[in-house]
A and B are shown apart, each in its own frame.
Chain A
């Protein structure tokens, strides 16, 4: 594990709202090696975005965080504000979902891309920043003239490209992409995924990719981690996990994205009964048992821990 760029150990994150403790992430450990890519899958409320935001300490004040996050050899949770600023953007940068509100509506796209560069003084002066902005825009597939545009003048796909350009501004090693393709059409989604893949190759980026769409992750990442109710319930090589999940939840999620041409799923949509649990009110035992098609008595006494379920694979299910 010495060549991990990002290493998370026993991370727990609890929100405190209206006097209630809401555990969003519970004892999560994971690693991404330098140049690797990990896809984090899960449904709304499973804690995946909280986990992503915690890596750059972007959580709201008053949130309780325990455990360890090591990014590029630095203990993120123990950093001083100055050290934290250095880590943000330069060691790791985050690409948000390309909705309109992710960008400042009254600032040109070029100024917004230049902002982190001048904040972190990675460029000599304004002229150098302009040159770099044009370079970045070209790299993400936008014409240089777009630097003068305002966010509302761009399409969803173009905004997503701008957000990627922003994240690349300070040459980060880790790129965290939080649902970067969710609001996009199929073709534009493919364009953005191809761009991320090219960038990863070209700059030796490490990628943490978060979405609810398991099939996108499988396509874009080497490894896959599936979260449910604040915990990782399965982890392993992407295609193996997608096609042959060990955890019943993984299998259900994978089945939600049918393989076209597969006779088994033709006219047979497959899903789970019930709803994802709310973080403040988790069922006892294995939190998945109320929705699990294979649940039995052994699921009730305690929450199963991750255990080895194959080569380089782990899953948290009593049946493994």
Chain B
């Protein structure tokens, strides 16, 4: 019988896909995202990782501050490294940090939101006070403190982003759980003898998962931007070549003053494109999950 259920699930997926396909913004976002994912995955084929090492770069005889016309495709930086290699390998770090931090955000936010909304009472009150506390503490000072205490590596960056950005997800999920909990089918499940776990798994989760997915897609760009901000402020992982770090180094070493546009522009545009792509996809998914948003179409 599960095969019937599977069939219907597949039908639902293909219906959502059909709706998604008919949305131009969603398809543009998806196309852009796929390009960057392909770049990140194919990084070893596109650029030699040794190009990130200034010693290797010097040994190769790369020019310093070489514009793209001298050193195609994207020129070199102040210590002769290839900007193209930084861009390609940086996309890996940026996408990974963005996705991993989002997973953490959504995980914490969903668990807190579902437990608070479903259990209610004192548990709800305590969790919501904690959520509000996290919501009001200024993000940057906390991130700076955490980064300096925990040390500067990729995992800590992910942790810092996750720990500071889950509260809004938690509140959103909790609100939705409160509505779903009131629905009669939850009463029906209870009168069939269902416990809390069954109700959450079979009735609450399926009815909030659309919201969680849409929220997740919209959280990715925020995570990427946060990573960029932290790296730009010098709090990023010194060994990981992320786009944010490229921007920081370009800024610190006077790329703007030298008019070395090739140094900072690729990373900046890359961030812009990925953030935009995720936002477009997230908006489209949100519209599919909640048709009232797309009434204007």
Chain A–chain B contact at Cβ < 8 A = no
A interface list, Cβ under 8 A from B: none
B interface list, Cβ under 8 A from A: none
